[in-house]
Structure 1
Amino acid sequence: MDVIFSIFQETFDNPIGTQQVPLPIIENYQGKLPNQLITYWKEHGWRGYGSGLFWMVNPQEYEEVVAHWLSGTHFETRDTYHLIARSAFGDLYLWGEHTGSLLTIAAYHSRYIDGAYSSSAEDMDGKIQALLMWVMTESINFNDLFKPAREALGDLASDEMYGFVPALMLGGSGTLKHLEKLKAVEHLIILSQFTDLLPYEFSDDE
């Protein structure tokens, strides 16, 4: 029994937007992504958890997003990255298939946290479970806006996110009245063009 995933499901209940993962895609990512993640795909599909606060996604749909965010950075040549999950507000979780590392990008203010390399398949699986622990213990609910955003703007579809207009990097305000429901891929690509991707500074406001 996967205790961590069971706790995660209890914490992030009310899954939405479930999509079954086609066998060819599972076969394509076998050996590129952790076995634990592939198991979640097989058993639960791609879906939004916590009413859409956290999403496990199809990496193929976000290849252009990854390319734009990593263009011109040292990550572009270090590894081949796949976006495996995201939050409703644009926290992106990328897996490096050769290093076995998790790269976290906060797209709304263009900051990243680089993870450690993996030494074994067990280590890789542990990082996937650590990601679930991370989203349960760290706030991915920007300024506690998720519930008010759902009430004001409606539930997210699997290809949507809540984004600030104007963007925070352009001086926008992180308040409910500046949130809109936007197409995730298109908005994330636009955000990637505003400023350089920099290391996360733990003094930054969340």
Structure 2
Amino acid sequence: MDEYFEFFLKKMGPAMHKRCVPALSIERFRGKLPEQLLAYWEDHGWCGYADGLFWTVDPQEYEPVLEAWIGDSPFMEKDAYHIIARGAFGELYFWGERTCDSLKVFAPGSYCFPRESAFQHGDMERGMRVFFSKRDREENDFADLFVPASEKLGPLKHDEMYGFVPALALGGPSELSHLQKVKAVEHLVLLAQLAPLEVMTPP
């Protein structure tokens, strides 16, 4: 195991709900995603970390989510993207085949953060290692609600997330009493239909 992933595990804890990645999935994304990610899949599977705050996912399973959020957007003209990870409340991590970790979407708020990756013209393999080493619990713990939500609603399974009902885009409050456990893919597709995606520009 490389030092970058060791650092990731030190911060995020051991894996949970591991799903072994089929060889066909590895081959499907070979040449599209960095070999380093495929190696992580082979060694660790698709699974949750930080007690379910952060999840590595099957990009094919999340294609409907990708299509719902950026399918008709200029982002798709810029690069071919794949969702490689998500957070417990709907943070979506997109990896561009040429632009690396250049896009993140916060689905409940319907906004996204495009960025210029330092690795898009260089070592994508190292870029993937750095991507994991940069993850932490705070970035996915929306309003510090994860522990209260886990205690009230129970831990998440690999296909679940905590969703606000009614959705924030419909004026729902970001409060514990309005959180429910929902199916991740279905809920994320639904959220994309409620409000246009707002592109956040850095200050």
Question: What residue number does 1:189 align with?
Answer: 189
Aligned to 1:171: 171
Which consecutive aligned stretches of 4+ in structure 1 deviate over 6 angstroms post-superposition?
none
Shift of 1:133: 3.5
Residue 119 (structure 1) aligns with: 121
CA-to-aligned-CA distance 1:87-132 (integer Å, 9 cap, x gap): 0000000111243343110111111111325113x2x223323322
Alignment of 1:80-119 (within 5 A): 80-116=80-116, 118-119=120-121
The residue that corresponds to 1:33 in the other structure is 33
1:80 is displaced (CA, Å) by 1.7
Please state how far the C-alpha of 1:13 moved relative to its aligned partner: 1.2
Identify the residue that residue 129 of structure 1 maps to in structure 2.
129
Q: Which amino acid aligns with 1:102?
A: S
Point out the more displaced range, 135-144 or 73-82: 135-144
* Cα deviation code 1:54-94 (max 9, x no counterpart): 00000010001100101331012222211100000000001
Relative distance call for 1:201 and 1:99 in structure 2 (3 A) is closer
Instruction: Please give the alpha-carbon distance, in whole angstroms, between the structure 2 residues aligned to 1:143 and 1:198.
Output: 20
**Percent of aligned pairs sharing the same letter:** 45
1:42 aligned onto 2:24: no
Q: Which runs of 5 or more residues in structure 1 are unaligned?
A: none
What's the TM-score, normalizing by structure 1? Answer: 0.91
- Tell me how far apart the structure 2 counterparts of residues 160 and 106 of structure 1 sit (CA, whole Å): 16
Paired letter, 2:147: K
Distance in 2 between the 1:2 and 1:14 partners? 15
* Deviation per residue, 1:131-186 (Å, 9 max, x gap): 22432275210111111111111111111000111111111111111110000011
Deviation at 1:202, TM superposition (A): 6.2
Q: Is the 8 A contact 2:113 2:201 kept in 1?
A: no
Q: CA RMSD in A?
A: 1.8
Does the CA-based 8 Å contact 2:47-2:56 persist in structure 1? yes
SS of the residue aligned with 1:24?
Answer: helix
CA–CA separation in structure 2 for the residues paired with 1:14 and 1:143: 24
The question of whether the paired residues in 1 share the 8 Å contact of 2:93 and 2:101 is answered with no
Q: TM-score, normalised by structure 2?
A: 0.92
Q: Which moved more, 1:13-22 or 1:137-146?
A: 137-146
One-letter amino acid matched to 2:40: Y
**SS class of match (1:65):** helix
Structure 1 equivalent of residue 71 of structure 2: 71
Answer whether contact 2:103 2:113 (CA < 8 A) is retained. yes
Structure 2: runs of 5 or more not aligned: none
Q: Distance in 2 between matches of 1:126 and 1:110?
A: 30
- Name the CA distance, whole Å, in 1 between partners of 2:51 and 2:163: 17
Question: How many equivalent residue pairs?
Answer: 201
Which residue matches 1:52? 52
- Give the letter aligned to residue 91 of structure 1: E
For 1:93 and 1:34, the matched residues in 2 are separated by 15
Determine helix, strand or coil for the equivalent of 1:92: strand
Alpha-carbon distance in 1 for matches of 2:136, 2:130: 10
